[in-house]
Amino acid sequence: MTRRLILGCGSVGRAVVEAVASWPGELDAVVADRGRTDALRDDTVDAVLGDPADPSNYPDAVDVVFVAGNDPEANLAAARSARDAFQSALVVAHVPVAASDETRAAVESVADRVVDARSVLATRALDVASDETTERMARLLRALRGVDGRLAVVAHDNPDPDAIASALALVRIAASVGVAADACHFGDISHQENRALVNLLDIELRTLSDPGEIDEYDAVALVDHSRPGVNDGLDPGTDVAIVIDHHPPRVPITAEFVDLRSDVGATSTLLTEYLERLGIEPDRVLATALLFGIRVDTKDFTREVSDTDYEAAAFLLGHADAATLNRVEAPSMNAEVLDTLGRAVRNRDVRGTTLVTGVGEIRDRDVLAQAADRLLEMDGVRLSLVYGFADGTVYVSGRARGTDIDLGETLRDALGAIGSAGGHADMAGAQVPLGILEDVADGSKEQLARVVDDVIKGRFFETLESGPRTLVREPDTKLAREYSQEESG
């Protein structure tokens, strides 16, 4: 049981609390601000109102201390007290942007780890996430290794692509630890698209017709649903070893291993994360099925889609068979758009609510507008800018929503001098001749992509940081017309 103590609570402390509150272990906090204290108590943290640097406010023993206030000097004082009070604890201290070099150095001398707001925030957030993910991986493998015999991975009745793909993926993960498993379901695969998926990919599924058939197995796992006997043909009293699902449960779920995350769009996303983190390379059939599962459940990335779904899709793209996907249905999103979107997600540079990304060489510049649209759906993104190059020109496409930035005018400021740019406040584009950039790149495609990155991304962020155009000015109507034509697709 890890005992954690938070000292001070600025925006960083708040983020830490939100991440840590769900972890097993104890969480205490000492905060000088009454409003913050009350907010923490709402989060069921044991929060004391008082001076974070006063040891009399501390619990008897802790394993990890997060110093997480907004004030550099107060954090230094708290870090010193914590170091004195808990010799063997891990002291992690946040150094706010405003800290002087002197204070920064002083904090570094007492804390075991320093989180420097100027550079490390994003990285630390990822570390925190990966700790949780790593622990989950370990628990799943433990549950699988505990299976003595053959495992039935049961999808819900009349399984959809998400359920089918998830079952296949769990069978694959089980095999990686030497446990034999079958992907099973009750009912029919009735939907034409789902049958096409199974037939085209030659997917092996066992159709169960009698609840008694499950007795041939030594353990049961459920995917894309969470209760035996509810939306499957199992006896409601069936012992379940593993549940992996993205639907919010109506009742508490009992199983040895439960992974229920309703903040992702598909169970296939969860299974993809396992494959990726466990270093299991999905074969063509599995990757294609998982990608299809994510697409169907998120209605082609338009419904309940999260960053995790995009990350999973980006990973699967490298392994999936786009041609087969295209044959399963006539998708609204073709393979090239999906591929461009994958590159856009992988290469993204997010600063605040702005996402800028380069996709390298493109064949069809329409894909940029579609990618910019989709990226705007990512969590916390209010402005997206996507660029790629073709036929000696860099094409740039941007979208904005819920911000007061005039994107068309801002793009003109950023790129007007080296090309043509403009458009609406919420939908804009630019074209920059590659000309001189190509000379700099010296014939190498990779080098060219880097030079384009430097110029487009560099100029755009620079313009944003130095004061972007806001919606006060009327956009140039002539340019707006010009660009709205190519941006309408």
The site for Mn ion (CB under 5 A) is made up of 162, 224, 267, 297
Burial class (CB in 10 A: 0-12, 13-18, 19+), 280: middle
**CA 136 to centroid of chain Cα atoms:** 16
Which residue's entry shows tokens 């399984």?
Answer: 159
CB closer to Mn ion, 144 vs 271: 271
Q: In angstroms, what is the minimal distance from the CB of 246 to Mn ion? A: 6
| Nearest alpha carbon to residue 410 among 352, 357, 460, 455 | 460
CB closer to Mn ion, 224 vs 406: 224
Q: Give the CB-side neighbour count of residue 306, counting CA atoms within 13 A.
A: 13
- What backbone phi and psi angles, to 5 degrees, belong to 482? -55, -45
CB closer to Mn ion, 297 vs 311: 297
Q: Is 259 left (phi over 0), alpha (psi -120 to 50) or beta?
A: beta
CB crowding 304-343: b at 16 or more within 10 Å, else e = ebbbbbbbbbbbbbebbbbebbeebeebebbeebbbbbbb
CB closer to Mn ion, 273 vs 297: 297
CB closer to Mn ion, 28 vs 297: 297
| Nearest alpha carbon to residue 180 among 212, 148, 155, 215 | 148
Q: How far is it, in rounded angstroms, from Cα 276 to Cα 176?
A: 13
Query: CA-CA distances (angstroms) from residue 313 to 135, 193, 195, 324, 348?
Result: 23, 20, 22, 16, 14
Closest residue to Mn ion in the complex (CB): 162
Q: How far is it, in rounded angstroms, from Cα 151 to Cα 214?
A: 10
| Nearest alpha carbon to residue 355 among 320, 334, 391, 380 | 380
CB closer to Mn ion, 225 vs 319: 225
CB closer to Mn ion, 297 vs 366: 297
Query: Would you give the DSSP letter of residue 241?
Result: S
Beta carbons within 10 angstroms of residue 382's beta carbon? 15
Q: In angstroms, what is the minimal distance from the CB of 157 to Mn ion? A: 13
| Nearest alpha carbon to residue 157 among 233, 242, 268 | 233
Q: In angstroms, what is the minimal distance from the CB of 223 to Mn ion? A: 9
Q: In angstroms, what is the minimal distance from the CB of 248 to Mn ion? A: 12
Residues 6+ apart with CB under 8 A from 352: none
Q: In angstroms, what is the minimal distance from the CB of 245 to Mn ion? A: 8
Q: How far is it, in rounded angstroms, from Cα 396 to Cα 230?
A: 49
- Do residues 271 and 242 make contact, with C-beta atoms less than 8 angstroms apart? no
Q: In angstroms, what is the minimal distance from the CB of 18 to Mn ion? A: 26
CB closer to Mn ion, 186 vs 389: 186
Q: In angstroms, what is the minimal distance from the CB of 163 to Mn ion? A: 6
Q: In angstroms, what is the minimal distance from the CB of 31 to Mn ion? A: 40
Q: In angstroms, what is the minimal distance from the CB of 377 to Mn ion? A: 18
Q: In angstroms, what is the minimal distance from the CB of 265 to Mn ion? A: 8
Which residue's entry shows tokens 């089980």?
Answer: 174
CB closer to Mn ion, 41 vs 261: 261
CB closer to Mn ion, 47 vs 316: 316
